[in-house]
């Protein structure tokens, strides 16, 4: 927890500690993040610790994330979006040397088309959601947080790396 609390997030990403779900593991810690640019990308990162471990974790720690991003209709209809979004997650971990095992999750894209009286707006709303969990290698929490922040930035449709000012 200390490493997550003291790691400085990249520029343009605001991270704050939030209440963690208490019933998932004996010890929990949670962060919420948002891109400072427009609020269209948000995320939660939850650290779980069970001294006895859990089946499937392959360890005593587990990180769980949920990232939500408003995207444009063209992006939402791209057949490669789910595969690309999962790659943002795994490649970010690798790029930041944030070792991990037992990763799993889902990528969901939803679209909402106005109908009836709302049809005049002709604005299709689309959302990308990335849910993932993984067991971090020991002593890699700063790298885990940096990789997670990069995932947020990628979900915003920005190139990998530090955002421009």
Helix (H) or strand (E) holding 148: helix 141-155
By CB neighbour count within 10 A (0-12 exposed, 13-18 middle, 19+ buried), where does 68 fall?
middle
Q: Mind listing the pLDDT tens digit for each residue in 8-52?
A: 676 678 888 899 988 889 999 999 998 866 668 999 999 999 999
Q: In the chain, how long is the greatest CA-to-CA distance? A: 57
DSSP 122-139: ---EEEEEEEEEEEEPTT
Asked if 32 contacts 43 with a C-beta cutoff of 8 angstroms, the reply is: yes
Mean pLDDT within 96-113: 94
Distance CA(127)–CA(3), nearest Å, equals: 31
Asked if 21 contacts 28 with a C-beta cutoff of 8 angstroms, the reply is: yes
- Per-residue pLDDT band at 118 (split at 50, 70, 90): low
Stated pTM of the model: 0.86
Mean pLDDT within 81-101: 96
**CB proximity list for 147: less than 8 A, separation 6 or greater:** 92, 93, 95, 96, 98
Please tell me which residue, 108 or 119, carries the higher pLDDT value: 108
Mean pLDDT lowest among 9-18, 69-78, 116-125: 116-125
Enter the tokens of residue 53.
Answer: 């471990």
Q: What pLDDT does 83 receive?
A: 95
Q: What pLDDT does 163 receive?
A: 42
Question: What percent of the chain is modeled with pLDDT above 70?
Answer: 85
Q: What pLDDT does 162 receive?
A: 45
Please tell me which residue, 87 or 35, carries the higher pLDDT value: 87
Average pLDDT of the chain?
86
Domain borders along the chain are 2-155
**In 7-154, where do the E strands start and end?**
13-18, 27-35, 41-49, 61-71, 100-112, 125-136
Mean pLDDT lowest among 12-26, 60-74, 86-100: 12-26
Q: Which own/partner pairs from 96-99 qualify as long-range (CB within 8 Å, at least 24 positions apart)?
A: 96/143, 96/144, 96/146, 96/147, 96/150, 97/140, 97/143, 98/136, 98/137, 98/140, 98/143, 98/144, 98/146, 98/147, 99/136, 99/137, 99/140
Distance CA(23)–CA(124), nearest Å, equals: 37
């Amino acid at each position: 927890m200390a490493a997550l609390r003291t790691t400085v997030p990249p520029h343009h990403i605001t991270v704050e500690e939030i209440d963690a779900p208490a019933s998932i593991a004996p010890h929990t810690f949670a962060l919420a993040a948002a891109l400072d640019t427009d609020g269209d990308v948000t995320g939660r990162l939850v650290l779980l610790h069970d001294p006895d471990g859990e089946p499937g974790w392959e360890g005593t720690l587990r990180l769980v994330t949920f990232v939500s991003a408003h995207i444009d209709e063209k992006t939402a209809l791209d057949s490669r979006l789910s595969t690309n979004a999962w790659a943002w997650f795994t490649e970010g971990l690798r790029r930041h040397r944030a070792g991990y095992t037992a990763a799993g999750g889902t990528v969901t894209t939803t679209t909402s088309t106005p109908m009836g009286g709302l049809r005049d707006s002709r604005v299709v709303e689309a959302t990308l959601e990335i849910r993932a969990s993984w067991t971090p290698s020991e002593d890699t929490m700063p790298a885990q947080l940096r990789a997670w922040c990069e995932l947020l930035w990628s979900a915003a449709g920005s190139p990998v790396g530090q955002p421009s000012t």
